[in-house]
Amino acid sequence: MEEIRFLHRQAMDLAERGAELKMDGDEKGAVDFFSQAFLKEKQAAELVTDEEKDDLRREDLFRSAAILAKESGRLDLVEKMFSLALEGGPALRRRRRKEKGIKADN
């Protein structure tokens, strides 16, 4: 989990720098930072396992990666990142609990 948090923090720092450059009108510089942030966030999301229970959930990291992909001009990856985010969402967790015979929390 430590590596996931570290990568996520790096991604957010890079994204913040990209946003600053974008506001200053440096689109090329912004895209470079957003691209780096995307790669870090995607890497963090790929490291999350089902067993890890934390505030940094796989679906949240992939959603963030999708937004960073958009900001970096990688529109070809936006849909894929959102799809990966949805794979780990509540519906999947309910199905897995059902398969394991675990009752849902009510």
Query: Which residue in 60, 67, 56, 9 sits closest to 34, CA to CA?
Result: 67
* 31-38: average pLDDT: 97
pLDDT(20) > 90? yes
Q: Which CATH architecture has domain 2-100?
A: Up-down Bundle (1.20)
**Looking at residue 75, what is its pLDDT?**
93
Domain boundaries, the chain: 2-100
Tell me: the pLDDT tens digits for 35-71? 999 999 999 999 887 665 555 688 889 999 999 999 9
**In degrees, to the nearest 5, what angle opens at C-alpha 44 toward C-alphas 21 and 10?**
35
Predicted pLDDT at 85? 84
Residue 89, pLDDT score:
58
Nearest to 4 by CA among 54, 62, 51, 45: 45
Please, what is the average pLDDT of the chain?
85
